[in-house]
Structure 1
């Protein structure tokens, strides 16, 4: 067997056998790197970020971040239990930290580690706005988007290696292939993959915030404020890791009624 055939078969086999399931969509997901390896590293990295940051541990804002975070997390666990995944988060260690920093940002790490920067709070504007952001970040953690990005990066690297082997020893051809493959896989696969995750997190997050008792209409309003804060600018969507602001606003508005219907299944019919 040639080296090319070996690596091709290995790559295809790894993709086929290394799949998980997203409980919210029912779709198969890439899982080349198991959570048993990811979570300990995630927890360690999260703690390192906190050690190197100005974490606000007391006061009304810090309390709000924790309150909203646990309400969203509890909503997710209620949904998972109701839909046949009662043990899905058994290895998660939910933690919600407020970091004193002007960045307009919030992020999630695998296993339920969430960070908010104070710079995003004025745009969140109210607790429901914080819940819209929190629902999105919790959704990233629940949908194992970090695991999928790591797996996709490994596949991208392996596919590049297979292509290089197929070309042979011609260095000029290898360089041309590397440039074309890098650009093509980034624009055609990795960036759309990332945008898909963002849209998926919006879809899951808006339902979780509604189940937690927060008005899902606030999600679209939040992104309207985000658009205004950015001046309406940003790169073209096909060059971005995120959908455009207009796309998100439109999608979230179209999801609002479905989120309310989902919340009603849990007895939640009024929202704050």
Structure 2
């Protein structure tokens, strides 16, 4: 016999979840609605802990390589608005062959040494760092963990309300979990990536880096990739989708770049 949660309990649970979701709504810099359950202080603590863990797991690279990355990062972060609440940014280069970089809430930037094999010049590196800093400015970390928390809470309530118990219930919940993953979490992540591409393009342009280098960067990425999963199964847009989005944004980014150059912002970061 199937067990169901009494209606007197189902309604408050549903109302509570909806109310918490509505209360936690915010808006991204591009006007997209977001979930944001966590405070700035909580996000900064998460960023600090994640950065410390990364430092424990990978050796750091110093010398001229570090100076080069720091130079590009400084030019980008100088354009971060004061109301972002990040006075200083800590930058590290990690010895890792993967072409990757990240920025974390609280003002932490990490660049893997492998990324420098793909980025051919300061402008291409600025495209990556601008993209990662844009994730922080757009509160994407908060949105991601909030979406995951809301998804897990919603599935737990559904399981209780529908009386999904035993092997059959576990199997169905597994399918529902997969649906939530591919229908909620991953699409949000792709939206975040596309948003960071656009905002990062503006940021690098305002710092005086050539926005056209972002297209060249993803051409390099596409040439080095060993095949990609279907876009609907990926947390990132396809290389072609990213390049198309960047091209569409170029009409807004190029005037920012030209104005920055006219104002004397001409970064000279050398490898």
Same fold, judged at TM 0.5 (above)? yes
In structure 2, relative to structure 1, the CA distance for the partners of 1:169 and 1:192 (3 Å cut) is closer
Between stretches 255-264 and 167-176, larger displacement belongs to 167-176
The answer on whether the counterparts of 2:210 and 2:257 sit within 8 Å (CA) in structure 1 is no
Map residues 1-272 of structure 1 onto 2, 5 A cutoff.
2-22=8-28, 24-59=29-64, 61-77=65-81, 86-87=82-83, 89-91=84-86, 93-168=88-163, 170-231=165-226, 233-264=227-258, 268=262
In structure 2, relative to structure 1, the CA distance for the partners of 1:134 and 1:114 (3 Å cut) is same
Between stretches 34-43 and 45-54, larger displacement belongs to 45-54
Structure 1, unaligned runs of 5 or more: 78-85
SS at match of 2:91: strand
SS at match of 1:16: helix
Partners of 1:104 and 1:264 lie apart in 2 by 29
The answer on whether the counterparts of 1:132 and 1:209 sit within 8 Å (CA) in structure 2 is yes
SS at match of 2:125: helix
Partners of 1:3 and 1:219 lie apart in 2 by 52
Between stretches 27-36 and 242-251, larger displacement belongs to 27-36
Q: What's the RMSD between the two structures over aligned residues?
A: 2.0
Structure 2, unaligned runs of 5 or more: 1-6
Once the two structures are TM-superposed, the CA of residue 173 in structure 1 deviates from its matched residue by 4.5
* Number of equivalenced pairs: 260
TM-score (norm 2): 0.89
The answer on whether the counterparts of 2:99 and 2:117 sit within 8 Å (CA) in structure 1 is no
Once the two structures are TM-superposed, the CA of residue 247 in structure 1 deviates from its matched residue by 0.7
Higher relative contact order (CA 8 A, sep 6+): 2
The answer on whether the counterparts of 2:208 and 2:260 sit within 8 Å (CA) in structure 1 is no
Partners of 2:150 and 2:172 lie apart in 1 by 17
TM-score (norm 1): 0.89
Partners of 1:214 and 1:135 lie apart in 2 by 10
Deviations, residues 129-168 of structure 1 (Å, cap 9, x unaligned): 1001011111111111111001000110011012102211
In structure 2, relative to structure 1, the CA distance for the partners of 1:267 and 1:229 (3 Å cut) is closer
Deviations, residues 97-132 of structure 1 (Å, cap 9, x unaligned): 111111121112222211111111111111111001
Partners of 1:102 and 1:35 lie apart in 2 by 32
The answer on whether the counterparts of 2:207 and 2:260 sit within 8 Å (CA) in structure 1 is no
Once the two structures are TM-superposed, the CA of residue 192 in structure 1 deviates from its matched residue by 0.6
Between stretches 40-49 and 236-245, larger displacement belongs to 40-49
SS at match of 2:103: strand
In structure 2, relative to structure 1, the CA distance for the partners of 1:166 and 1:265 (3 Å cut) is farther
